[in-house]
Each structure stands twice: as structure tokens, then as C-alpha cells.
Amino acid sequence: MEHNILLCVDRDGTLIYDDHYFLGKDNYWKSKVKILPKIVEGMKLLDKTFPNCICRFILSNQPGVAIQDFKRLTLKRANDVCKEVALIFKRKGAFFDGCIICPHVSLDYVKKHPEYNFDKKYVQKECNCFKPNIGMIEDALAKKKLDKKNTYIYVIGDRESDILTALNAKGVGILVPFEKNLEELEKVKDLKNKYPKQVFIAKDFLGAIQCVIDKERE
């Protein structure tokens, strides 16, 4: 194969159960990390199929870092949660090259959440990394010194914003619907009609990986 593959995987609702509780905001967060099914199988299959040319990153929007009311959910804590998730998978034989998070919130987000106090440092008019922006993908490419022109980008996630991130990066987005975010499925169905060659919906993570493999074999 002449190109590289960059696989970007969302964290909450894709790799682990998403309870909308801003994982990491309290001291007992480790016991709340619950991994979702078929990920280990999927990652192992991907590595076996493309042993030499694949990089895999966890990309996660973490607006909780910007919320001052969550005193314990610092940037460091948010990174620790990601590292712990990666470690849990590593122990099971599924490897990620790294985790990248966006700790920022937009002015829009601030307006939508009057119940919280925000740390000004993380409030940005426009940040390049909050999905569906592609800053975290660019970071991943840079970390692995991958040439964008020679890299096929895949994003697996449970939200429309994950799929839009893929489209913005001229890659392929694969939705794995999460039981609590089913309104996202309807939005992505519309996107799939518009971009049938770039948007896919899989029933689980293994199905998403199968979709990557099929796409590569086209």
C-alpha cells in the first residue's frame, strides 16, 4: 500500500460509555470508565489487516475543562482520563498512538450553558481544534509526521460533529450510534445521503472497522 491510514476515534460514546457527567470531574472517575463492546476486536482486526501503515488516535472535545465549577476537571485530569482509557485498551491488546483533546468552549457554548461558570482562559471565539474543526487531526498528522496528501483519514464517532470533522478533513466518517445519542443518527442519515462515498453508519465498532477495511480495498 502506498498511503498511510490515520484512524481517529472519538472517546465518549464511542470507546467508553457516555453518561454526560463530565468524566474526571470527581475523585472516583476511574471506577466510572466503562468500555463499549467490540473495540478490542475491531482494533486487533485493523492492525492485523494493515500492519505497517496505520496510526490511531483518540480525539476528544472536553469542554468540561473550561467549566470552573468542576474544580478537579483540569486539563491534566482530562488528559489523565484519556490516558487511562488508552491504557485499559492497551492491556487488552488494542493500541492507540496517542490522545488529543480540545479543552476549549465557544462563546456559543457559554451562552447555551448559563448554569456554569467558565474559565476565560479556555473560552475562545474560534478554536481550530473543537470538532468539527480539524485541528486535532492536524495535530495527529504532525505527531506522526504524516503527509496529509498521502494519508487517508477515517473518523469513527457517535455524533454528527465527528462525521463533519471527517468531511472537513476530506476523509471518511463512520457513525457508531450510541444508545443515548440517537438524535445524532437522524442527522447523520441526512449527511450520508449527501455524501454517500464519505459517510457511513455501522452497527458497532467492529462494523466500523470493517467499513474502513472495505473502503481501503475499493
Looking at residue 124, its amino acid is Q
Torsion, CA 135, CA 182, CA 41, CA 197, rounded to 10: -60
Closest separation between CB of residue 108 and Zn ion, Å? 13
Stretch that binds Zn ion, among 45-53, 114-122, 130-138, 180-188 (CB under 5 A): 130-138
- Separation CA 73–CA 81 (nearest Å): 10
- Burial class for 115, CB neighbours closer than 10 Å (0-12, 13-18, 19+): exposed
- Binding partner selected for residue 29 from Mg ion, Zn ion, none, CB under the kind-specific 5 to 8 Å limit: none
Query: Is residue 83 within 8 Å of residue 30, measured between CB atoms?
Result: no
Which one, of 148, 104, 111, lies nearest residue 128 by Cα? 104
From residue 75 to residue 114, the character string flagging contacts with Zn ion as x (rule: CB under 5 A) and all else as - is ---------------------------x-x----------
Tell me if 127 contacts Zn ion by CB under 5 A: yes
Closest separation between CB of residue 214 and Zn ion, Å? 32
Closest separation between CB of residue 134 and Zn ion, Å? 11
Closest separation between CB of residue 176 and Zn ion, Å? 24
Partner residues linked to 172 by β-bridges: 154
Stretch that binds Zn ion, among 43-51, 127-135, 168-176, 197-205 (CB under 5 A): 127-135
Residue with Cβ nearer Mg ion (158 or 216): 158
187's grid cell: 442527522
Residue with Cβ nearer Zn ion (104 or 159): 104
Torsion, CA 23, CA 24, CA 25, CA 31, rounded to 10: 80
Please give the residue ranges that form the binding site for Mg ion (CB under 5 A): 10, 12-13, 158
Summarize as ranges the residues that interact with Zn ion (CB under 5 A): 102, 104, 127, 129-130
